[in-house]
Amino acid sequence: MCRSIKTLFNFAPPATDDEVRAASLQFVRKLSGFTAPSKANEATFNRSVDEVFRVARRLVDQLTTTADPRNREEEAAKAKARSAERFGRAAPSGRRRGIAASPR
Whether 74 is in a domain gets the answer: yes
| DSSP state for residue 33 in the 8-state scheme | -
Q: Give me the pLDDT at residue 83, please.
A: 87
For the stretch 37-91, pLDDT in tens is: 999 999 999 999 999 999 999 999 999 999 999 998 898 899 899 989 988 875 5
What one-character DSSP code corresponds to residue 11?
Answer: E
96 part of a folded domain: no
In a domain, 25, yes or no: yes
**Neighbouring C-alpha atoms within 13 Å toward the C-beta of 13:** 3
Q: Is 81 exposed, middle or buried (0-12, 13-18, 19+ CB in 10 A)?
A: exposed
At 32, the amino acid letter reads S
Of the pLDDT bands very low, low, confident and very high (cuts 50, 70, 90), residue 1 is very low
Which residue range forms the structural domain that includes residue 45?
Answer: 16-86
Q: Which residues pair with 11 in a beta bridge?
A: 70
CB neighbours of 24 closer than 8 A, spacing ≥ 6? 49, 50, 52, 53, 56
State which amino acid sits at residue 59: L
The answer as to whether 2 is a domain residue is no
The number of domains in the chain is 1
Report the alpha-carbon distance of residue 72 to residue 99 in Å, rounded.
Answer: 36
Instruction: Compute the radius of gyration of the chain from its Cα atoms.
Output: 19
